[in-house]
Amino acid sequence: MNLSEIRKNLHQIPELGFEEFKTQKFILSILKQFPQLKIHTFPFTGIVAEYSVGKGDYKLIRADMDALPIEEETDCDFRSQHPGKMHACGHDVHMTILLGLIEKVIQADLQQNILFVFQPAEEGKGGAKKMLETGFFDSFSISEAFALHVSGSLPLGTISSKAGIFFANTEEVDVIFKGKSAHVAFPETGKDALKAGIDFLRIVEENLQKNFTIPDTIRCVFGKMEAGTVRNAIPADCKLEGTIRAFFDDDLRKIKEILEFSGKEIAEKNGVQTKIKYLSYYKAVKNEKTLYQKLKSVCRKLNLKFEEAEAVFTGEDFGYFSEKYPGLLFWLGANQGEKQDLHSSSFLPDEKAIPIGVDVFFKLIKSE
């Protein structure tokens, strides 16, 4: 297979979570070339390619499929053909690596049971959780689960990971205040929802500072605030949209407690109503120590540079797999000489990272 062309084709058809119809069709067209695989599909866009060679445990390797609602601003000749959508997180590379791995496993006639998982909707819509909730994987004895993520900040071919908690628990949250509108000339007849929102932000920050060492242990950030309709009226509604992140489950629960009692206190103080809604949730990614050690050994054998990673507040729903099975996620360096951020409109991982990712995965699933 021409992995470079496959990556370019995938890059041109980015689709959002659970809308990866063209992507699914393209991947299936490639998988059907391999009679050694048993292909499983779902009522949504996920795919599992089963490679069974007899009795024994299975190893699971996962690649995410979805893109982001971003207008691409790269100058490559294989830019997105879908306006307002882009593979700005490298999932096109992830899928290409998994397809390359499938080909290598089959060519080597590897005597190891494997599940190759193409997972939709990693970007906030719970694709991993939905795949696991189907019960499909419960009929397999899965001993190890692997995933990688390209990095625009690491040099090409550098591998980085850590044992234990690697990516944080992350959850999106909306806080809504409802008051009563009034003309600014008669504010006493209204209930100011915007003021409640501002007071809420202040008291939440004070309570977080009392309970946590910030920014080392948690994140609680509200990046968007909407209120009111005109400049000369007291706002009846205020909505804050934010994200909460923590490495440990107890800390995440504590943040939620702070949001709840802060919201109640501010609502009573301002005479308004409040509602807190929790949205998409990523389970923390925890790397099995033995698999982490195996990764370091593989890097030595392949003469690849390995860097000890730090735990990050990034969200990754591979955490649902690493919660259920011994798991390992690692960074694969793919910058092209200039550091690039994930989710950037100019993010374009170097395709030379693709065969490196294939080789690392192959060694991981081959070694005992």
Active site positions, annotated: 64, 123
- Taking Cα atoms as reference points, which of 214, 205, 221 lies closest to residue 173? 221
Percentages helix, strand, coil for the chain (3-state, rounded to 5) are 35, 30, 35
| Partners of 332 in the β-ladder | 150, 159
The answer to whether the beta carbons of residues 80 and 57 sit under 8 Å apart is: no
Positions of E strands within the chain = 38-41, 47-51, 58-64, 113-119, 142-155, 159-161, 164-167, 169-178, 182-183, 218-227, 233-234, 237-246, 273-282, 285-287, 306-308, 327-335
The answer to whether the beta carbons of residues 147 and 324 sit under 8 Å apart is: no
Tokens describing residue 140: 């397999």
Q: What are phi and psi of 142, to 5 degrees?
A: -105, 120
Q: What are phi and psi of 27, to 5 degrees?
A: -65, -45
